[in-house]
Amino acid sequence: MKILFHLCPFVSSAMIGLLFTCPLTQAQQQSNVGAPEQEAVTPGPVTRPMVVEIAPNTYFINEFGMNAMYLVIGEKRALAIDAGTGFCDFKGIIESLTKLPYDVAITHGHPDHVGGIGQFDEIYMHAADTAMTHIPYEQRVQYGEIMRNMNIGYKNVWDYTKENVTKYTKQPKIKLLSDGQVFDLGGRQVTVYYCPGHSPGECTFLDDKSRILFSGDAANGNVGTRMAVSTTLRYLIRLQQLRTEYDQMYNGHIAYAGTMDVFSQKPQVLDDVIEAFRSLLRGDAKTEVVKNHLFPERTQTVAVYGVARVGFDPDKMWEEGEEHIVP
Ligand SMILES: [Zn+2]
């Protein structure tokens, strides 16, 4: 694994407040154990996004602990996955890593994944999330402040402030993603697997060359669903069944909140998320009331199984009229 610190000075920007829950994997939570708690938040020493080659021609780009973007480079084209919150010159980073033409595909419409789309002329995303792409500047600032002051992780790792928030003057043209769509990059193909739950338009991306599944926020250890639990579960089971086609899963929040570890999410996380949702449908879930880590004044009830904690809407366990057979 090669770690490069990108040479461009970062420009920055930020993102939104709102009701979404940023994911924190159990492994990431564990990696925070022993991290010093710091009351005073001072900008840290790292002024540039972290860029790591996680497989040949496959890059992880960490945007100041807020989220993880990826760049997959083939022989003829490249594919960027997610655009981040917009705190950094992601376009400049992509173009420093490849001279090939490239597409930008978004896993889902939450602000820490679409906030940076104003840098690009066009992006791909699923139709169900396209209404979520207009993110006011103030909300991006707010998101950065929440992240910087969040009471987990190492707070003083990243040096970014609201002064770095970039104001975009345009919205990109949106092209629609669909389940089964293939990005042929030349010598490697990336296939889209729709996986709604965390958001209605969530998509994951399976790269046949690196055998990595880029899973966005579909299935980390602290995921919630706004959709029927039964539907969410079916799509997650499909990801589990695809496991013969991938060896690693990189989600949208690797190296979250000041942790500097760059690793694949363990298969157990997806398995436990599935079991947690299953237990809700069976009616024997172990539940807990937890604080939202982004908004500590808010609490939510989650189902717990192994390393997973899953949020759900008690009024949306099944689709309307659906037979209650646990998948
Ligand atoms: Zn999200």
Highest mean pLDDT: which range of 131-145, 208-222, 255-269? 208-222
316 found inside a domain? no
CA of 75 to the centre of ligand 1 (A): 31
Please report which confidence band the pLDDT of residue 152 belongs to, taking 50, 70 and 90 as the band edges.
low
Residue 21's CATH number: 3.60.15.10
321 found inside a domain? no
Flag the least confident range among 51-55, 61-65, 149-153, 208-212.
149-153
CA of 76 to the centre of ligand 1 (A): 30
Higher pLDDT, 162 or 60: 60
61 found inside a domain? yes
Flag the least confident range among 134-148, 174-188, 189-203.
134-148
318 found inside a domain? no
CA of 3 to the centre of ligand 1 (A): 26
What phi, psi does 72 have (nearest 5°)? Answer: -115, 120
94 found inside a domain? yes
Percentage of residues in the chain with pLDDT exceeding 90? 59
Domain range for residue 307? Answer: 2-311
Residue with tokens 């990005």: 183
CA of 198 to the centre of ligand 1 (A): 6
Structurally, the chain folds into a number of domains equal to 1
Mean pLDDT (whole number) for 180-190: 98
What's residue 41's pLDDT? 59
What is the token pair recorded at 129? 């999330």
CA of 167 to the centre of ligand 1 (A): 22
- DSSP codes of every residue in 257-302: TT-----PPPHHHHHHHHHHHHHHHHT--EEEEEE-SSSTT-EEEE
Mean pLDDT (whole number) for 23-52: 55
What's residue 68's pLDDT? 94
324 found inside a domain? no
Mean pLDDT (whole number) for 216-245: 95
pLDDT at 270 over 90: yes
CA of 23 to the centre of ligand 1 (A): 7
What's residue 161's pLDDT? 77
Closest CA to 24 of 292, 204, 232: 292
What's residue 154's pLDDT? 66
pLDDT at 47 over 80: no
327 found inside a domain? no
Using CB atoms within 10 Å of the CB of residue 287, give its burial: 0 to 12 exposed, 13 to 18 middle, 19+ buried. middle
Pair type for strands 58-62 and 68-73: antiparallel
122 found inside a domain? yes
Distance CA 31, CA 262 (A): 11
CA of 187 to the centre of ligand 1 (A): 30
Higher pLDDT, 77 or 42: 77
Question: Could you read off the pLDDT of 200-220 as tens digits, one per residue?
Answer: 999 999 999 999 999 999 998
Beta-bridge partners for 286: 304
Distance CA 182, CA 173 (A): 20
Helices and strands in the chain: count of H runs, count of E runs: 6, 17
